[in-house]
Amino acid sequence: MKVTMTVNGKAMSAETEGRTLLSSFLREGLGLTGTHVGCDTTQCGACTVHVDGQPVKSCTVLAQDVAGRSVTTIEGMANKDGSLSVIQQAFQDHHGLQCGFCTPGMVMISAALLSEKPNPTEEEVRHYLKGNICRCTGYHNIVKAVMAASGADSQKLAAE
């Protein structure tokens, strides 16, 4: 069955089976491989995208259930001129990524947090990010990046 949805502002379609997951639809159907799959139990968050503005783990959503809705992936997060958005830039500025595999999910969940709560505390950031696993950074610099993107003085976070 052909499924159509708005992805990063454009209407896009691909053939699906009933069991096709949104993550597979994006990666295999549309070739948007920025959305990563790091587990098969909805635990790691690498596949996080936004559906109608809400963060969703795309490995646990059937593509057909998202037909007609609006999806944003990591490929749609940069500014219109191609420069990094505030949250992406904060991840680079604060070394909030190493191998890069969890990064798309981290950026998407962080963006959702900041749109929900523009000035979170560090504790709130850590709580909100707990559904996304990073094996490289120890989270220190991810938390710092999210705080910085929120406008907080990230230098106060830790001595380091």
Give me the residues that bind other proteins (CB under 8 A), please.
17, 19, 27-28, 31-41, 43-44, 46, 73-75, 77-78, 84, 88, 91-93, 95, 97-104, 107, 122-123, 125-127, 129-143, 157-160
Q: Which is nearer to other proteins, 70 or 122 (CB)?
A: 122
Q: Which is nearer to other proteins, 68 or 91 (CB)?
A: 91
CB of 34 to other proteins, least distance (A): 2
End-to-end CA distance of the chain: 53
Q: Which is nearer to other proteins, 2 or 95 (CB)?
A: 95
Q: Which is nearer to other proteins, 42 or 68 (CB)?
A: 42
Q: Which stretches does DSSP call E strand in the chain?
A: 2-7, 10-15, 48-51, 54-57, 70-72
CB of 38 to other proteins, least distance (A): 5
CA atoms of 52 and 67, how far apart (whole Å): 12
CB of 157 to other proteins, least distance (A): 6
> Could you count the other beta carbons within 10 Å of the beta carbon of residue 122?
16
Could you tell me which residues are beta bridge partners of residue 14?
Answer: 3
CB of 6 to other proteins, least distance (A): 17
CA atoms of 56 and 53, how far apart (whole Å): 9
CA atoms of 27 and 35, how far apart (whole Å): 7
Looking at residue 107, its amino acid is V
